[in-house]
Chains A and B, each alone.
Chain A
Amino acid sequence: MVQAAMEKTKNMLERFAEVDKILERNGKNKAKLIRILQEVQEEYKYLPEDIMAYVANSLGLAPAKVFGVATFYAHFALSPKGKHVFRVCDGTACHVKGSQKIIDALRSELKLEDGQTTSDDMVFTVETVSCLGACGLAPVLVIDEDVHGQVTADKAMELVRALREQEKA
């Protein structure tokens, strides 16, 4: 029991140690809150609630202020994302070139319910973004960091399957 509790505290301290580094790097500057949260997200892939509270405390801000900022900006995720993130562009250029079909196809292939963005096995996340600035290649799909242009629903399916194979291997 005691050992488990100590283990937990130790883990927590280690968790916050990373955050401390981020805070130090940014000089515990309130004006850098967005940057700090971005770095936290790079580290954890999303913004865990306890860490946001910790950041708030360290910067002398009310936790509500930090949550307020975190919920305002689309880049911040409040829950964990899948291992592979599909970002389908739904900007105007991509929309008129049929991005909705790609979104529908991906969501149905990954069996995502309404409102759900990450597959149950935590492997895939499907998001939409508005304009990646590559409208010349519309419709555009970004998988993790790779930009794919002139995507069709079929091509998107191929890409999903290829990643699935890769995951199995």
Chain B
Amino acid sequence: MAYIELRNVSKSFGVGKDRTQVLSNINLEIEEGEFVAIVGFTGSGKTTLINLISGLMMPDEGEVLFKGELVTGPSHERGVIFQNYSLLPWLNVRNNVGMAVKEAFKKMIRKERNKRVEEYVEMVNLLPAINKLPKELSGGMRQRVSVTRALSMSPDVILMDEPLSALDALTRGNLQQEILKIWNKDKKTALLITNDVDEGILMADRIIPLKPGPKATLGPEYEINLERPRDKTALNHNEEYKKLRNSIIEYLIQIGEQRASKKENNYTLPDIKPVIKPTPFGRLNFG
């Protein structure tokens, strides 16, 4: 049995006429120790998928299983790196991370806890900023704190919702290596949401595209059998890498176009130009 399993999961938002099914019939299996990346378009339901696995949301249909048991709520075993950092603005870096450590290791004495916090903050090179408040940090630093907070709880699974999207290419590369190092060291299971195919290939064992919503489903999966540790510059000359990258991107372009053409069929606009008369109060009335 898979470590994480999603069976025919569907999720809708809204009520009545406004109800839209965001995710439809999602089936996913992740083995223990595996690193899976999901690439998808914006608004397709990636965060929703993460929320379903973390237990922050419940599926409308189907079930989410973790270690063979039904997920009924969040748990320390599944750490989440939120898309928008979600650091608590009134706590400094030390306390933001410390709060997580305290909850995950209730029995730990204070001194040990502090040591652990510092150790993890050190890992993302933020020790000089450990006493700063989130508002005093750059976007990238905040993202690193957010990563640290999730990892410091030593979860069995790390769920990452576009954890590196706000970073420049250089910092991004560094942090990718950091995350890989941690994943490799403790042999965690990892699910990475990303909008960057290269990032997915560099980090994951498997890449699965999420089709554009509404009613998004998972596309065909791509195994990545490149040898680890993978080096970004070396990969650029690797034939297998190039082939894989091209086929994934082609697939994404293809489903992207499908979406565009589907839209066109739905709303064929009449070939007329609106006549806009100037109206009083500067308000335009298209009624």
User: Is the pairing of A and B real?
Assistant: no
**Interface set of A (CB-CB < 8 Å, partner B):** none
